[in-house]
Amino acid sequence: MNPSNSSASPAPKPPRKIQVSLGERSYEIVIQEGITAELGAHLARLTKGRKTLVVTDRNVGPLFGPALAKSLQQTGFSGSLAELPPGEGAKSLDIAKFLYDRCFDAELDRGSFLLALGGGVIGDLTGFVAATFMRGIDFVQVPTTLLAMVDASVGGKVAVDHPKAKNAIGAFHQPRAVYIDPLVLGRLPERELKAGLAEVIKYGVLDDRAFFDFIEANIEKLLKKDPEALAAAIEKSCAIKARIVGEDERERDGGPRALLNYGHTFAHAIETCMNYQGYLHGEAVAIGMVLAADLSVQQKLLGRGDADRIRALIEKAGLPVKLQPGDPPSDELHAATFRDKKARAGKLRFVLATAIGATKVFDDVPEDVARRVWDRGRV
């Protein structure tokens, strides 16, 4: 899986394309092995602007930046590269300010665009700067983690963090295009890959039983980074997210976008109580999905057999399925679910499964039932 070798492969596979239909804000997600090194040609067809700032981090930049920069130069683009420290800390107003300075240094104007090359941190931050610089300029997503490919890069939610809350300062700003190169995952640490697989499994549970079956049948291949299996899983995940975002761009009350938060009410409570330490987001979501399946069983919406299947697949993906002894106590975690932004007017709101592949939002879950699920989530 070396992206620099991809151009030498005998028969290039046709790209997989998914349309995100949002009227004049519509865009395409293109999945193709080796696309990072050919991005200039794609961008030249997409935009009239020829000036760009590529935003990346210090892990990703050295790996994929040179091939990307060469392709941009060869197709007549000019601009510069901003390489930021890796990690969530970069999603700050201070770093956004640094990027505004870099945009001015690069003499970007309203016809220019930003290019996010990295994981969800880089995508969210770059999108936020693009949404606000000169009241909004174009940006393009080139996600390099599985989580960013299947989730963060699609849907237009962009943000930086505030010391008081994650993603608190943000906007809806759709990218002009998303270019996904499954080969770049060859360099992604295993733990990050598994965290992305949690969101892939989420799509199967929330929307598509046949896709859940596919993940179950291909989990070993996915863990071994088999490019075909990965491309198929990314395509289906993006198609599900694209369809839901197309129906409900701004997450209106009662709209289907809330379903994308399956497992996330529990996950956010875990992350908040643990101060975003210990678990990666995808790992917290993995536990959250098991808890949500169990709560679905308690509410007599889902059979125990289906809940066991969900848990078994998450476990096979090498993800945690229960809280650990040192994790925060149940009372604390339960209290935090009320602070989650999905809780409305003190009522608990959960996305629950009515089958594998079908979910609905419920706000009538009795508090004591939800509270007990935290205890059950330790065994």
Active site residues: 135, 157, 199, 241, 251, 257, 261, 264, 268, 281
Task: Give the whole-angstrom CA distance, residue 294 versus residue 301.
Answer: 10
Query: Using the rule CB under 6 A, is 120 a contact of ligand NAD?
Result: yes
Q: Which of 83, 88, 216, 332 binds ligand NAD (CB under 6 A)?
A: 88
Question: Which one, 166 or 372, has the nearer CB to ligand NAD?
Answer: 166
Query: Using the rule CB under 6 A, is 118 a contact of ligand NAD?
Result: yes
CB atoms within 10 A of CB 358: 16
SS3 78: strand
| Rounded alpha-carbon distances, angstroms, from residue 20 to 234, 240, 242, 347 | 14, 10, 5, 33
Question: Which one, 249 or 306, has the nearer CB to ligand NAD?
Answer: 249
Count of residues in contact with ligand NAD, rule CB under 6 A: 29
Number of H helices, E strands in the chain: 13, 11
Query: Using the rule CB under 6 A, is 129 a contact of ligand NAD?
Result: no
Q: What is the DSSP string of 113-151?
A: EEEEEESHHHHHHHHHHHHHGGG--EEEEEE-SHHIIII
The tokens for 364 are: 């009538």
Of 48-87, which residues contact ligand NAD (CB under 6 A)? 57, 59-60, 63, 86-87
Query: Using the rule CB under 6 A, is 6 a contact of ligand NAD?
Result: no
Question: Which one, 144 or 296, has the nearer CB to ligand NAD?
Answer: 144
Residue 197: exposed, middle, or buried by beta-carbon count in 10 A (0-12, 13-18, 19+)? buried
Q: Which of 16, 91, 225, 349 binds ligand NAD (CB under 6 A)?
A: 91
Question: Which one, 43 or 183, has the nearer CB to ligand NAD?
Answer: 183
SS3 323: coil
Question: Which one, 133 or 374, has the nearer CB to ligand NAD?
Answer: 133
Question: Which one, 90 or 103, has the nearer CB to ligand NAD?
Answer: 90
Q: Which of 32, 145, 174, 265 binds ligand NAD (CB under 6 A)?
A: 145
Q: Which of 155, 182, 263, 328 binds ligand NAD (CB under 6 A)?
A: 155
SS3 72: helix
Residues 6+ apart with CB under 8 A from 313: 201, 212, 215, 216, 219
Query: Using the rule CB under 6 A, is 320 a contact of ligand NAD?
Result: no
Q: Which of 38, 124, 283, 306 binds ligand NAD (CB under 6 A)?
A: 124
SS3 351: strand
Residues 6+ apart with CB under 8 A from 45: none
Please report how close the Cβ of residue 346 comes to ligand NAD at its closest, in angstroms: 25
Of 158-187, which residues contact ligand NAD (CB under 6 A)? 167, 184-185, 187
The tokens for 151 are: 């989730």
Q: Which of 82, 99, 103, 188 binds ligand NAD (CB under 6 A)?
A: 188
Query: Using the rule CB under 6 A, is 267 a contact of ligand NAD?
Result: no
Query: Using the rule CB under 6 A, is 258 a contact of ligand NAD?
Result: no
At residue 172, φ and ψ (nearest 5 deg) are -100, 120
Q: Report which DSSP code applies to 11.
A: S
Task: Point out which residues bind ligand NAD (CB under 6 A).
Answer: 57, 59-60, 63, 86-88, 91, 118-122, 124, 144-145, 147-148, 151-152, 155, 157, 167, 184-185, 187-188, 192, 281
